[in-house]
Chain A
């Protein structure tokens, strides 16, 4: 369980995080979404006590991170990809962290195995690819068998197989009852992995919702139908998982099926259709709409550059 209370971080006169309050619950994967520069990494660093909040505070498992007697068993974190001295081997790096808590060597070997690094465990990190570096960061995060896992952009630099592995890993960690907070700037990635969403832009909370609600609210997967014979169409469309709402007389919004099926059903029963429009808002578009005003570096319109 992570709680952030009125978290605020200012660097000079630049406010990076403003009055952020949210809770991350155990047993679910919470996606921490926002465009680049929204303050995700800064927030995660405040949760881990690396940065001190200007105002507000964050707790993990009911206490400030630094107040835990064995912090690595409380929170495992993957921060920026490289928090490793490149001159050490993967095994040496993990051993150094393990020593601080009295974690045995067998556990080090175990997390190297989980992350698929056993074969390169004794190679210096200097020669690691971006993906191997991410895997080592995740191995370090899992080292203390933590109750809470915080991962900053874990899929960055991973190949498709690695991305799939992360998704499965995150879900299984949550299924074991752990608290999982994972940041991303990609809505599509989060929609596949997360149950809950905390969306921020320019350091402010924009949404604290579930993926299901977000999907419903943004209108993705709906089809708008205009027909003079709405009653008959509704009767023929009714099936498990399909919901139909009447927005106006003769105007229906259908969820749970697609335009093709509606069109064919209408044709089969000779129901005239005046309009059949698939909802165009994708998750990514809805996310961009939400964060449009808070994107730090949007592409300048053509001709703007002098």
Chain B
């Protein structure tokens, strides 16, 4: 046993494979992903079917069709938080880090696996939702085609933005090690803090709020950039930065703190 040549070895690819296996062997993953896709398609089609074509105008055609992705911002964040904080609440983390005591490959693999699942799911959902919803919108002010300026970019941008938000949530889960705390921080950061900050009478705060996660998600989704919004590229860069900072904090915590 001790002297035998061992083919066994921890490699980044194997850790990735393990995390992939772990993601798909939990029921919560399937439920979250199916709910995300179904709610986006359902909301898009439902709202479009009910739309009487006399809206107040000014609604963005991609934003309108993808209203259901509001659920995805929460659903995919839950998936990210469960991947990290969920391991602490169940005790699984001790087994995981005993197998991979260098620790960081686990975090990178979790983030990579989440992104590799979330992005295609959101992209295909968006590409399915848009034509289905448009079938009900042909004679309204929301009528648009995939080839119209900004439409395809908005559908892809939305999928990328949601993926980055989920990765940010995954990092929060690894920092706080608690499912409820990390979801609280996430929801506060995405939904509550920007609204509070906007009440402050400083222009610089308004400028900064554009780059907050939910506002950046909107900018990345919209086919037409609004006057008060960041450009889609800047918005996606801001989201990438949010995700990177969250992962960096997660990496520091994971390396330094006892399990």
Contact = CB atoms under 8 A, between A and B. Distances in A.
Interface string B7-45: 111110011011001100111100000000000000000
A224 B190 CA distance: 79
B141 to A, nearest CB: 47
A147 B2 contact: yes
Given A51-B259, A96-B22, 11 more contacts: A48-B98, A50-B258, A52-B258, A71-B99, A83-B95, A83-B98, A85-B86, A87-B25, A88-B25, A97-B95, A102-B11
A194 B62 CA distance: 70
Contacts of B100: 71, 100
Given A51-B259, A65-B101, A96 B18 contact: yes
Contacts of A147: 1-2
The 10 closest A-B pairs by CB, nearest first: A99-B18, A66-B101, A83-B94, A83-B95, A51-B258, A101-B8, A92-B25, A85-B92, A50-B259, A147-B2
Given A45-B259, A71-B98, A96-B22, A84 B10 contact: no
Contacts of B103: 66
A79 B94 contact: yes
A99 B258 contact: no
Nearest to A93: B95
A177 interface: yes
A99 B26 contact: no
Interface string A64-92: 01101111110001011011111111001
Interface in A28-58: 45, 48-52
Interface residues of B, number: 36
Contacts of A203: none
Contact of A69 (B10, B18, B22, B94): B10
A17 to B, nearest CB: 13
A87 B95 contact: no
Contact of B7 (A95, A102, A176): A102
B143 to A, nearest CB: 45
16 contacts: A45-B259, A49-B97, A70-B6, A72-B8, A83-B91, A83-B95, A83-B98, A85-B22, A87-B27, A87-B28, A88-B22, A96-B25, A100-B10, A100-B18, A100-B99, A147-B2
Given A50-B258, A70-B9, A85-B92, A100 B101 contact: no
Contact of A92 (B21, B98, B259): B21
Given A99-B18, A100-B10, A177-B2, A86 B90 contact: yes
A73 B94 contact: no
B172 to A, nearest CB: 20
B41 to A, nearest CB: 27
